[in-house]
Amino acid sequence: MFKYEVIKQDTKTNARIGRFSTPRGVVETPVFMPVGTMGTVKALTPEEVRSAGSQIILANTYHLYLRPGMEIIKKAGGLHKFMNWELPILTDSGGFQVFSLSTMRKVTEDGAHFNSYIDGSKHFLTPEKSIVIQQILGSDIIMAFDECTAPDIGWEQSKQALERTIFWLERCKEAATNKEQMLFPIVQGNMYKDLRIESIKKSLPYAKCGIAIGGLSVGEPKPVMYKMLDALYPYYPIDMPRYLMGVGSADCIVEGVIRGIDMFDCVLPTRIARNGTAMTMQGDITIRNAAYKEDFSPVESGCDCYTCRNYSRAYIRHLLNTDEILGGRLLSYHNIYFLHRLTSLLRQAIIEGNIDEFAAKFRANYVY
C-alpha cells in the first residue's frame, strides 16, 4: 500500500520530484507538512489547511498521549475521525518532545522516564509504548522512538544515543504490526559525520518505504546542518522518501531539496504567524511593526492566497495590535500557503531542469 516513485532526478544537483503513495492518497514531493501537534494546525480548520494546499499533516504522539489521552481518541475511531482529516497523517514518536520539553527526564535502555510539562506527573515511554500509541492514533506514517541529543554534546555521548536509537528501532519494528502503517527509522549521530554515516547504515535494514533524519535544526548553525545532509546523501535509498524532521524555514527547504530531501515539517509557519510575522520569497517580514501601519498592499506581492487576495498589511497589523485572533489566522493561512507554493515552485524548477538557477536566484533575493 506504500510506494515511492521518482518522477525526475535533477542532473546538476541532488534534487528530485516523486510520488509517495499511501493508503489515504498520493503525496507529491518535495512536500512541506504542516504540524498539527495537538490534533490541529493551530488557528486553522482542517478545511482551511487542505484549501491552502496541504497533502499531509503531522501530529504528535507525546502531546496527544498526555491530552486528551488514548482512550478518548480510540473511542472516536482514531485521529483522522477525531479531527476530521481524511488525508495522510504522520506522527512523531515523542522522542524529540521528551528531549525538548521535559526538564526532568532519565533515559535508560528500557525507555525514557519524564515528567509531564502540563502537571508534572511522571510517565515512562518505551519504544513499544510509542508504537502502540501511534497504532491507536491510526496515523499512516509512524516514527521509530529515538534519542535526540543537544548539538553541543561530545562524541561519546552521541555514540551512546545512536546505539540506543538503533536498539530501540529493533523493538519498534517488532511492535509495529499494523500493515496499514509505514514505520520510518530515524537517523541520529548529532553533528559528527562518522556517526551520521554509521547511523544511516544501521537504520537502512529497517527502512521499508521511508527514512527520517532527526537531531538537526536543534540549535546548530545552518551550515552544519547542510554539512550533515551532504555527508548522508550517498547513503540514501533511491526508492524511498527522505524526511528532514523539524525544518520549515524557506531557506532551509530550498537547501534541503537541492540536497535530496523529499519531506519537511515544522511548527514555524503558524508559530511566527501568531506573533505577527509573514513568510515571503524575500524573507520574513514582521507585519506588527509600525512600518506597515498605512501599507495597503497584500502581505506578499504576487501571492494568490486567500489572505493576500482579500486583506492588506495595514488591516492585518491592526488586527494583531488589537489582539484580534483573526490576524494570526490570516497570517497562518498565508504562511502555510506560502510553503506549499514554494515546494510547488521547486517541483516545477526540477521538471524544467533549472533548479540550480532557481536556488541561486532565491539566495540572491532572500533576506536572512
User: What is the 3-state secondary structure of 243-300?
Assistant: EECCCCCHHHHHHHHCCCCCEEEECHHHHHHHCCEECCCCCCEECCCHHHCCCCCCCC
In angstroms, the CA 350 to CA 356 distance is 9
Domains and CATH numbers, the chain: 3-266 (3.20.20.105), 267-368 (no CATH)
CB half-sphere exposure, 215, CA atoms < 13 A: 29
The residues annotated as belonging to the active site are: 92, 265
Q: Report d(CA 104, CA 173) in Å as an integer.
A: 28
Cβ contact 216:186 at 8 Å: no
Q: Would the CA dihedral through 282, 284, 288, 289 be positive or negative? A: negative
- One digit per residue, the tens of pLDDT, for the chain of length 368 reads 999 999 999 999 999 999 999 999 999 999 999 999 999 999 999 999 999 999 999 999 999 999 999 999 999 999 999 999 999 999 999 888 887 776 668 899 999 998 888 998 999 999 999 999 999 999 999 999 999 999 999 999 999 999 999 999 999 999 999 999 999 999 999 999 999 999 999 999 999 999 999 999 999 999 999 999 999 999 999 999 999 999 999 999 999 999 999 999 999 999 999 999 999 999 999 999 999 999 999 999 999 999 999 999 999 999 999 999 999 999 999 999 999 999 999 999 999 999 999 999 999 999 99
